[in-house]
Amino acid sequence: MTIRCDVAIAGLGAMGSAAAWQLTLRGQRVIGFDRFRPPHAMGSSTGKSRIIREAYFENPGYVPLVRRAYELWADLEQDSGRELLRPTGGLVIGPEDGSLVPGALASARLHGVRHELLDAGAIRARYPAFRPDATLAGLLELRAGVLMPEDCIGAMLGQAGQAGAELRFEEPVLGWEPDGDGVRVTTGVRTVLASRLILSAGAWMEASLTRRTLPLTVARQVMFWVRPGGDPGLFDPGRFPIWLWETNEGPTWYGFPDLGDGPKVARHHGGQVTTADHVERGIDPEESGPVRAFLAKAIPLLDGPVTDARVCMYTNTPDEDFVLDRHPDHPAVLIASPCSGHGFKFAPTVGEILADLAMDRTPRFDLTPFSSSRFTPA
């Protein structure tokens, strides 16, 4: 069976579903493929909650992209009738000479993000569950909050499907070849002749799919939900923010208020290197030891029983920035966003960028920092 389309998409996680949504808004004929049935728990876009924040400690250059994402998430909420983003405020905690607080402060000052600087005493007074020692400081931003990833992907795919996208689940792309000015895409079921192909397969972005060696590593990351002690109301979304905490020992942790399943806590980066097809999805009870040790000192009211744990994957670049680029050898193919564990919040902006590139339009953002050529030896 051979069919034709404007754009084929390999992978319908956060970035692929966003691209499908944005392209169908523009009247493009889209066929999207996924090896599972999204939204699912097998990749990176899982875990019931994802952080959205604006005082971006990683790099101030991301702030305009996340601001556009706020606008597009609001559009999606209105169009889909779903609540996708819950504001909670966001607190970053860490040493004054670390990377987290100074980085967030640099972004906030450069882009005029509303924020407050808090010393350790002010943090404890504002949020009694936190117990930072006197060596730590914090930055609070009011617009940060929580995205519900499964609902977000469901909403984007729902809008794309209503607009005419053909969504093929449990049917992975097996390969592709240049075909004139376009691409011939093959699955185990059909052949698609597409003017453009978007590769957005996350942890499955192997050289066999990209036809290009990119220095990507896949890391297994474990998320934990815990039962709070003391007053559980201290962890309600109206009283407890999303947070990131850089420790003096090095690791950075992050967490969420109680959204109904208990507060969620996880380590940012540092997971076991693996592959998408061989990741260990079982979780040994002893794996909660490091998070329990951190919580016992930092948020002692959360040093309670672990009620749930799940595995997701970070697909990391060496510099932890995205890849958003045309394939250097095949300009009809777009390589989309191995996001190094901090990309979900940007999904609708990335979808808009991919739609521009697929339609040979100039995106509103400079994509030079996300070029795949930065990994090519000079």
List, run by run, the mean pLDDT of 10-residue segments along the chain (378 residues): 93 98 98 97 95 98 98 98 98 96 98 98 97 97 97 98 98 97 97 98 91 92 94 94 93 96 96 96 96 96 93 96 96 93 97 98 97 82
pLDDT in tens, 249-262: 889 999 999 999 99
Q: What is the pLDDT of residue 377?
A: 64
Q: What secondary structure, in 3-state letters, does the chain show? A: CEEEEEEEEECCCHHHHHHHHHHHHCCCCEEEECCCCCCCCCCCCCCCCEEECCCCCCCHHHHHHHHHHHHHHHHHHHHHCCCCEEECCEEEEEECCCCHHHHHHHHHHHHCCCEEEEEHHHHHHHCCCCCCCCCEEEEEECCCEEECHHHHHHHHHHHHHHCCCEEECCCCEEEEEEECCEEEEEECCCEEEEEEEEECCHHHCCHHHHCCCCCCEEEEEEEEEECCCCCHHHHCCCCCCEEEEECCCCCEEEECCCCCCCCEEEEECCCEEECCCCCCCCCCHHHHHHHHHHHHHHCHHHCCCEEEEEEEEEEECCCCCCCEEECCCCCCEEEECCCCCCCHHHHHHHHHHHHHHHCCCCCCCCCHHHCHHHHCCC
What pLDDT does 342 receive?
A: 96
Specify the pLDDT at position 274. 97
Tens digit of pLDDT for each residue in 127-176? 999 999 999 999 999 999 999 999 999 999 999 999 999 999 999 999 99
pTM of the model: 0.97
Q: What is the pLDDT at residue 362?
A: 97
